[in-house]
Structure 1
Amino acid sequence: MNFKKKIFSILSKKEFYNLTWDIFRYQIKNNKIYKNYLQYLEVNPFEIKNISKIPFLPISFFKTHRILSSCNTTRTGDCYDIIFTSSGTTPGIRSQHYVKSLSVYIESIIKSFEFFYGSIEKFKFLGFFPTDRKDSSLIYMVKHLIQKTYQNGSHFVPFPYSSNNYNKDIHLIPNRNNKNIFIFGLSFFLLDFIEKYNYLIPFSFKKKEYQNKVIIMETGGMKGKRKEIIREELHNKLKNFFCVKDIHSEYGMTELLSQAYAKKNGIFQCPPWMKIYIRDPEDPFIHIDNNKIGGIDIIDLSNYLSCPFISTQDLGKKINENEFEVLGRMDFSDMRGCNIMTPHFLES
């Protein structure tokens, strides 16, 4: 079944719930790893009556298994378009996401972004990212946004920085074609930039017409390149340099195809085909109420060709039905019940 059109045209909770059930049944039938996981848990999928009770696959499975639906997972044939790999900032095996259809990811990129910010055509994107990684889903996403708006002057900012790059990429904005500026970067890249050019803050940054036409978005943390700092400190540094009121954030990961966005204060919202739950720190199969801290579980329906029900290793809390915060990574030494989420069964 082709779910793509239905996923990106969801307009209501009812449509989301109905499509979630359809995709859950599709997963049971076509995703061997997920089906085995349910059997290991001794869960009868046909007895589940609420989507919050659907079992979420531990994200660590992307390190040990090839997670695909409707594909022979015992061979390496051309049943996928690309493999995205995690950055590997922590010791151990990297996650790999076998993306069966790049067209689904591309549509998710555009639809998610435009749901929150409007048409990409009104922006000039400046990407503060390394361009040497070919297997990063985040780099692929930013590259696609830049390619689609190349006529607006969008491009990656070269790293390491030089005064020539500075004058070309930053000092001259807002640019002549009157496009809004969208500066999108890894946190440590942005910090490196503002520390290098802190004495060169251009007068244009302080002009009201600039402040109304620029968005600064950080994502990805320090990636092991710098000491981690709290979000408030990071955002204050960025706000002071770029002379903007708020710093935006993006929340995504290698194992998913959709992104959540925060327009200020790290308060994230999801596109209509994505939903967040918070699981109990002591019982990973129970979801807890708003404003309580626990592990983040995600339904990402655009992931229907791999697995759309993912139990992450991120810590967070829901503020209300539509908003949530990401509070960091879980410390598994303090989390009970995590071992039972990750059975060591084979694909066969």
Structure 2
Amino acid sequence: MIDPRDIFNIQTQTEFKDLAMKVFKFQFENNSVYRSFCDLLYVHPSDITSIKDIPFLPIQFFKSHRVLSSSKPIEKIFSSSGTTGSVSSKHYVTDLSIYENSFQKGFEQFYGNIKDYVILALLPSYLEREGSSLIYMAEVLIKQSKHKESGFYLNNLTELKDLLLKLESEGKKTLLMGVSFALLDLVEQYQFQLKNTIVMETGGMKGRRKEMIRTELHNTLKEGFGVSTIHSEYGMTELLSQAYSKDHGIFNCPPWMQVLTRDTEDALTIQDYGKSGGINIIDLANINSCAFIATQDLGRAYQNGSFEVMGRFDYSDIRGCNLMVL
């Protein structure tokens, strides 16, 4: 067994690589779905000499299989929203404390103490369904913020506008976390000049609006909120970690998460840094499911550990994660 505490104590690239290799061996031995996938590729742990050699499980398997590396009871099932008639992804979580550790430590790394912020969550589409991992994260952050003003907002935009202006006048640090279409709805009705508020978009239009390229979306939001930058969160049902962008759509990962890109013509080939390709994610917080995932997103990974998202594969279905097609 691997001690989950080791995941969140990673400090160097060497430590990341060493633990990733251990997690691969553990999941090869304990995850029947992943083992079958590796067997089809004729890959065995004895063949693996670097993390680039590790097979990445196509994310679609979370729609068709129970992807589990643990025999412990299921504590929570996170599911994607999907579109009408489509099959949702399901992430079976056997240890919620790992998820909570991941998003709390990740948030603190990029933004500091949660208690310093009033957390306002404008996530109507997520609130309207069951099983959202983003709602679970927001609920915990709201509780931990310890501010009475923190909370969720559905369609009560006037109330949210009044609160934002009140918090601004009181000089309180505020994080407004919202799905893209709802943030656009807000700035179409009201204009702001926010000095103490971080505006963070967490996702695409989910069929509510025409998709926009990220620069167009962010420019519209910057003008409407009167802020110089728009932050973004990159997460999905199949992950237990998030990456964050503080500007220009360049994301950074916590120490236990890394992004690589694969060749779009040869899914088993990991590309050099800076080349656009399919995004592969190593999320070591996924110790009890699968830590090595080939997503349906397109992007570029850079040598300093950052990455950007450029869109989605044409054949992939539209889902309620964090992507806007470019």
Under a length normalisation based on structure 1, what TM-score does the superposition of the two structures give?
A: 0.86
What's the secondary structure of 1:17's corresponding residue? helix
Cα distance between partner residues in 1 of 2:168 and 2:228: 17
Structure 2 partner of 1:66: 66
Residue 239 (structure 1) aligned with residue 222 (structure 2) = yes
| Per-residue deviation, residues 173-203 of structure 1 (Å, max 9, x unmatched) | 2264x53111100001111111122xxx35x
Identity of aligned residues (%): 48
Cα distance between partner residues in 2 of 1:246 and 1:227: 22
Structure 1 partner of 2:319: none
What's the secondary structure of 1:172's corresponding residue? helix
- Structure 1 residues 91, 313: closer, same or farther in 2, change over 3 A? farther
1:309 pairs with one of 292, 295, 298: 292
- Work out whether residues 259 and 280 of structure 2, in 8 Å CA contact, stay in contact via their aligned partners in 1: yes
Structure 2 counterparts to residues 40-189 of structure 1, below 5 A: 40-71=40-71, 79-89=73-83, 92-130=86-124, 131-151=127-147, 153-161=149-157, 163-167=158-162, 169-174=163-168, 176=170, 178-189=171-182
Deviates more, 1:146-155 or 1:286-295: 146-155
Paired residue type of 1:189: A
What's the secondary structure of 1:151's corresponding residue? coil
- Work out whether residues 38 and 45 of structure 1, in 8 Å CA contact, stay in contact via their aligned partners in 2: no
- Structure 1 residues 84, 2: closer, same or farther in 2, change over 3 A? same
Residue 192 (structure 1) aligned with residue 185 (structure 2) = yes
Paired residue type of 1:193: L
Paired residue type of 1:118: G
- Work out whether residues 70 and 289 of structure 2, in 8 Å CA contact, stay in contact via their aligned partners in 1: no
Cα distance between partner residues in 2 of 1:159 and 1:70: 40
Deviation at 1:12, TM superposition (A): 0.7
What's the secondary structure of 2:147's corresponding residue? helix
Deviation at 1:29, TM superposition (A): 1.3
Structure 2 counterparts to residues 185-224 of structure 1, below 5 A: 185-197=178-190, 201-202=191-192, 205=193, 210-211=194-195, 213-224=196-207
- Work out whether residues 280 and 286 of structure 1, in 8 Å CA contact, stay in contact via their aligned partners in 2: yes
Structure 2 counterparts to residues 267-286 of structure 1, below 5 A: 267-286=250-269
Cα distance between partner residues in 2 of 1:110 and 1:35: 31
Cα distance between partner residues in 2 of 1:142 and 1:100: 20
Cα distance between partner residues in 2 of 1:303 and 1:6: 13
Cα distance between partner residues in 2 of 1:149 and 1:314: 32
Cα distance between partner residues in 2 of 1:99 and 1:179: 35
Deviation at 1:281, TM superposition (A): 0.6
| Structure 1 unaligned spans of 5+ | 72-77, 334-348
Deviation at 1:43, TM superposition (A): 1.4
Paired residue type of 1:136: S
When Rg is computed on C-alpha atoms for both structures, the one with the higher figure is 1
Deviation at 1:164, TM superposition (A): 4.2
| Per-residue deviation, residues 59-101 of structure 1 (Å, max 9, x unmatched) | 0000000011132xxxxxx711110110103752110000111
| Per-residue deviation, residues 251-299 of structure 1 (Å, max 9, x unmatched) | 0100000000000000001100001110001000001112211100000
Structure 1 partner of 2:243: 260
Cα distance between partner residues in 1 of 2:159 and 2:141: 24
Deviation at 1:165, TM superposition (A): 4.4
Deviation at 1:322, TM superposition (A): 1.3
What's the secondary structure of 2:104's corresponding residue? helix
Paired residue type of 2:150: S
- Structure 1 residues 298, 164: closer, same or farther in 2, change over 3 A? closer
- Work out whether residues 123 and 152 of structure 1, in 8 Å CA contact, stay in contact via their aligned partners in 2: no
Paired residue type of 2:80: S
Cα distance between partner residues in 2 of 1:141 and 1:27: 25
| Per-residue deviation, residues 8-52 of structure 1 (Å, max 9, x unmatched) | 111111111111111111101111111111111111221111111
Deviation at 1:308, TM superposition (A): 0.3
- Work out whether residues 202 and 233 of structure 2, in 8 Å CA contact, stay in contact via their aligned partners in 1: yes
| Per-residue deviation, residues 231-261 of structure 1 (Å, max 9, x unmatched) | 1111011111111111100101000000000
Structure 2 partner of 1:33: 33
- Work out whether residues 27 and 290 of structure 2, in 8 Å CA contact, stay in contact via their aligned partners in 1: yes
| Structure 2 unaligned spans of 5+ | 317-326
Deviation at 1:153, TM superposition (A): 2.0
Residue 331 (structure 1) aligned with residue 314 (structure 2) = yes
